[in-house]
C-alpha cells in the first residue's frame, strides 16, 4: 500500500546550506534503497518534506527524521493513502526558497511570510504539486 506523508519543521540554528546538501545526499541514498520518493523544500528557516512509498518504509524514515537534531518541532501536515506517487522520479527532490519562486510559496499561504504550519493539508499538497511543475529540482 502506498502512502504520502507531509510534515513541516523548523531548522536548527546551526544548520548551513552544506548541512542541507549532506541531508539530501544521505536521503537520496537511503530512500532509493527502501523505495521512498519525495521532495524536500528548504526556506532557510523551515523544512517542508513529502515522503511517498510503502506505509512501513515511510513510517520508518519519518520516525528517523523526526529525531534528527538538525531540525525541531516536526509537525505532520498530511498522511494519506495514495493510488500513485507524485514524485516517483526523485529519491528526494530539492527546492529552495528563492526570489523567483517566492510568489508560489506564498500563493497557498495565509501569512505574509511562508509558514507551512499555518497551511491546510490541501494547500500544502497543491503547493508541492505546483513546485513539481515549475521549480528547479535537483537530485533525480
Number of residues that bind ligand FMN (CB under 6 A): 15
Q: Is 30 among the residues that bind ligand FMN (CB under 6 A)? A: yes
Binding to ligand FMN, residues 83-102 (CB under 6 A): 92
Q: Is 31 among the residues that bind ligand FMN (CB under 6 A)? A: yes
Report DSSP letters for the chain, one per residue: -EEEEEEEEEEPTT--HHHHHHHHHHHHHHHHHHT-EEEEEE-SSEEEEEEEEEHHHHHHHHHHHHT-TTEEEEEEEEEEE-SS-SSTT-SSEEEE--GGGHHHHHHT-SSSS--GGGS-HHHHHHHHHHHHHHS--B--
Q: Is 127 among the residues that bind ligand FMN (CB under 6 A)? A: no
CB of residue 112 to ligand FMN, shortest distance in Å = 24
- Give just the sign of the alpha carbon dihedral 67, 97, 76, 35: negative
CB of residue 119 to ligand FMN, shortest distance in Å = 17
Stretch that binds ligand FMN, among 24-32, 77-85, 99-107, 131-139 (CB under 6 A): 24-32
Q: Is 33 among the residues that bind ligand FMN (CB under 6 A)? A: no
> Which residues bind to ligand FMN, rule: CB under 6 A?
23, 26-27, 30-31, 40, 47, 49, 61, 64-65, 68, 70-71, 92
Amino acid at each position: 500500500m502506498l502512502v504520502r506523508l507531509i510534515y513541516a519543521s523548523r531548522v536548527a540554528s546551526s544548520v548551513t546550506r552544506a548541512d542541507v546538501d549532506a541531508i539530501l545526499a544521505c536521503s537520496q541514498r537511503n530512500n532509493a534503497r527502501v523505495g521512498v520518493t519525495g521532495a524536500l523544500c528548504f526556506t532557510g528557516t523551515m523544512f517542508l518534506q513529502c515522503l511517498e512509498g510503502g506505509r512501513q518504509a515511510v513510517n520508518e524514515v519519518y520516525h528517523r527524521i523526526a529525531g534528527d537534531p538538525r531540525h525541531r518541532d516536526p509537525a505532520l501536515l498530511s498522511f494519506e493513502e495514495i493510488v500513485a506517487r507524485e514524485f516517483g522520479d526523485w529519491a528526494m527532490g530539492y527546492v529552495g526558497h528563492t526570489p523567483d519562486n517566492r510568489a508560489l510559496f506564498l500563493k497557498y499561504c495565509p501569512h505574509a511570510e511562508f509558514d507551512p504550519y499555518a497551511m491546510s493539508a490541501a494547500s500544502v499538497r497543491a503547493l508541492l504539486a505546483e513546485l513539481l511543475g515549475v521549480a528547479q529540482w535537483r537530485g533525480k
